[in-house]
Structure 1
């Protein structure tokens, strides 16, 4: 792809939005076809199972690492230039935000990325939850909740004005990230075979990880030819959901990667579901479920912004380049989700998600 030619033809900002759209569509198609969902994986784990959802999540997690680390070894991107690596991270935000996000995704029955994919298939529960998530995320970024987020984030931050690169901090060889990704991918394939997952599921789960790598490579390539500074980033849904909401509410908002990403995921998931004839309107089953989902979505909106990313942004995109706070946030998301399932759903006798 000749990125310079695209920039000269349509401009830098539209190119960034186009790259977000491409990344989002790849993600939406693959996530819809694979049923990728961190919440379902954590619930399976909490119930003592390493089932199909755990297999799919682990395959996505590991292949994102493989694709991204491979791209870095080939010189297609540099993780040290990525925005989430180049800015200070917050350890306290990762812990508190990760726990809140993990709790929220169990209550809302899906993380922010999964809600967006389900909304595209006609799930009105996910539409409402997604809107609550985006509004609270915006409030946490620039609104009434931003002072609280700043206070909690400032309790414990990374040293040196940058986030922590785990590979560099542990003095590991450059190829160690790729080796770890391959080892985890092999484990994921073993679990997938044991759970009798089909080839399509395996391919599409890997496709979610591939979409993350595409985002990194495209934004890095754009940064090398653009006149103005360009953020090197990839799939995440906390900040982009808030920014996309404001783009449609405030006409002066400019185009960027975020603005293409969220519509791209929605469009990709919609097209995938339409081709499979899986479009179907679904609503809440009672006021109690609606209340629970809205509380969960609000917890994810604040928690994701505090943690510096959602289940995708921190849990897959950030970990693929070994951002220290992203790994801590993902760990805390698992802890929060498992604890919430045990305290809320298991005590009520709720079944493992299908």
Structure 2
């Protein structure tokens, strides 16, 4: 049965939600098995270790870029009407939001997608952080924090179209995007070889990125075969998190979406990955895992994601794969913000001991 037949039988909302569920299962499973995590990659980068965490993220990101640009070249995908390219965007929101998100993901030890993956593995810290992330995202979208988001977003805006397309700005096209992705993939493979062979690092990292690319392809196919207006969309977690929160709190008559299917799919896929790897276990707060740190970090991520127009996957990988200017600016902000948080919070400089004076100095001078 082709896409048109599925749509005619079940309707666009059901088909989109089912597609999100299936791709979410793949993303959750492969993300869990490969330990895909932007925060871990950022930490390795700023610590100059360049190990398997960085290799997995680069492999996933480059796979998404290569797959998306390859499909565009083959005529299988057209992203010109995607929100990240066609709509007006905010440069200030992308940069500030990325910085705040980067700070928050280090404090919570995971980005939005990683928190969902860890929640399915029994991590109660991630579950609490994810709930606070969703509440803050909703408050930033249409609640108490919305005026702040709108004010920061208005500082510097960019029109949709070529002005928001990085490939158009540099005078390139899908071929340039594909070449760029292949260069990043070569770097990812080099880091992967250096850090040692691991089946899930290679296969899981590439498959995670492929799920991001397939999300673009799937929603485009629904749009192309639908008789109703359907917006092409990619994989993201900030908007769907807020949407699921509102559906849990109150009855909704809004139709199902790709994102609503994605969230439970990722949870179930990650749960399956944890069970396969025998990694499921309950984890709470204790030791260095202080609750205030996670709460503040989740709030920063929730506000930052809505300000930037997406999370580490939504704005970073999904938007980055189609070379949206704001997405790449957000990625830069996330890497810088993560580095700042690591430097100031996780790696504080040792305080210098005060110099002894008086008799204490004399005693030290006489000491053998």
**TM-score of the superposed pair, with normalisation by structure 1:** 0.95
Q: Please give the alpha-carbon distance, in whole angstroms, between the structure 1 residues aligned to 2:73 and 2:249.
A: 41
Q: Please give the alpha-carbon distance, in whole angstroms, between the structure 2 residues aligned to 1:81 and 1:172.
A: 18
Does the CA-based 8 Å contact 2:33-2:277 persist in structure 1? no
Question: In the alignment, which residue of structure 2 is the partner of 1:341?
Answer: 342
Residues 161/154 of structure 1: CA separation in 2 closer, same or farther (3 Å cut):
farther
Q: Secondary structure at the match of 2:21?
A: helix
Query: How far 1:162 moved relative to its partner?
Result: 7.5
Does the CA-based 8 Å contact 1:88-1:162 persist in structure 2? no
Query: How far 1:187 moved relative to its partner?
Result: 1.1
Query: How far 1:174 moved relative to its partner?
Result: 2.9
Question: In the alignment, which residue of structure 2 is the partner of 1:229?
Answer: 229
Q: Please give the alpha-carbon distance, in whole angstroms, between the structure 1 residues aligned to 2:161 and 2:179.
A: 29
Query: How far 1:165 moved relative to its partner?
Result: 0.5
Query: How far 1:248 moved relative to its partner?
Result: 2.4
Question: In the alignment, which residue of structure 2 is the partner of 1:108?
Answer: 108
Question: In the alignment, which residue of structure 2 is the partner of 1:352?
Answer: none
Q: Secondary structure at the match of 2:157?
A: coil
1:120 aligns with 2:120: yes
Identify which range, 232-241 or 91-100, moves more after superposition.
232-241
Q: Please give the alpha-carbon distance, in whole angstroms, between the structure 2 residues aligned to 1:266 and 1:290.
A: 23
Query: How far 1:284 moved relative to its partner?
Result: 0.9
Does the CA-based 8 Å contact 2:72-2:174 persist in structure 1? no
Question: In the alignment, which residue of structure 1 is the partner of 2:330?
Answer: 329
Question: In the alignment, which residue of structure 2 is the partner of 1:318?
Answer: 319
Q: Please give the alpha-carbon distance, in whole angstroms, between the structure 2 residues aligned to 1:99 and 1:241.
A: 20
Question: In the alignment, which residue of structure 2 is the partner of 1:248?
Answer: 248
Question: In the alignment, which residue of structure 2 is the partner of 1:281?
Answer: 282
> Cα RMSD (Å) of the superposition?
1.5
- Give CA-to-partner distance per residue, 1:167-188, whole Å, 9 cap, x none: 1111114311111111111111
Question: In the alignment, which residue of structure 1 is the partner of 2:88?
Answer: 88
Q: Secondary structure at the match of 1:79?
A: coil
Question: In the alignment, which residue of structure 2 is the partner of 1:151?
Answer: 151
1:211 aligns with 2:211: yes
Give structure 2 stretches of 5+ with no counterpart. Answer: 351-368
Query: How far 1:230 moved relative to its partner?
Result: 1.2
Residues 153/163 of structure 1: CA separation in 2 closer, same or farther (3 Å cut):
farther
Q: Please give the alpha-carbon distance, in whole angstroms, between the structure 2 residues aligned to 1:288 and 1:317.
A: 31
Residues 345/246 of structure 1: CA separation in 2 closer, same or farther (3 Å cut):
same
Question: In the alignment, which residue of structure 2 is the partner of 1:38?
Answer: 38
Residues 250/348 of structure 1: CA separation in 2 closer, same or farther (3 Å cut):
farther
- Give CA-to-partner distance per residue, 1:187-231, whole Å, 9 cap, x none: 111110110031332111001110011100010000012122212
- Give CA-to-partner distance per residue, 1:104-161, whole Å, 9 cap, x none: 0000111111000000111111000000000000100111111111111111110357
Matches within 5 A, 1:29-68: 29-68=29-68
Q: Please give the alpha-carbon distance, in whole angstroms, between the structure 2 residues aligned to 1:50 and 1:94.
A: 26
Query: How far 1:251 moved relative to its partner?
Result: 2.0
Query: How far 1:163 moved relative to its partner?
Result: 6.1
1:307 aligns with 2:308: yes
Q: Please give the alpha-carbon distance, in whole angstroms, between the structure 1 residues aligned to 2:321 and 2:112.
A: 19
Question: In the alignment, which residue of structure 2 is the partner of 1:200?
Answer: 200
Does the CA-based 8 Å contact 1:34-1:204 persist in structure 2? yes
Does the CA-based 8 Å contact 1:52-1:197 persist in structure 2? no
Does the CA-based 8 Å contact 1:89-1:162 persist in structure 2? no
Give structure 1 stretches of 5+ with no counterpart. Answer: 350-354
Q: Secondary structure at the match of 2:36?
A: coil
Question: In the alignment, which residue of structure 1 is the partner of 2:353?
Answer: none
Question: In the alignment, which residue of structure 1 is the partner of 2:298?
Answer: 297
Query: How far 1:278 moved relative to its partner?
Result: 1.4
Q: Secondary structure at the match of 1:175?
A: helix
Question: In the alignment, which residue of structure 2 is the partner of 1:272?
Answer: 273
**TM-score of the superposed pair, with normalisation by structure 2:** 0.92
Identify which range, 286-295 or 138-147, moves more after superposition.
286-295
Residues 113/288 of structure 1: CA separation in 2 closer, same or farther (3 Å cut):
closer
The structure whose Rg is larger is 2
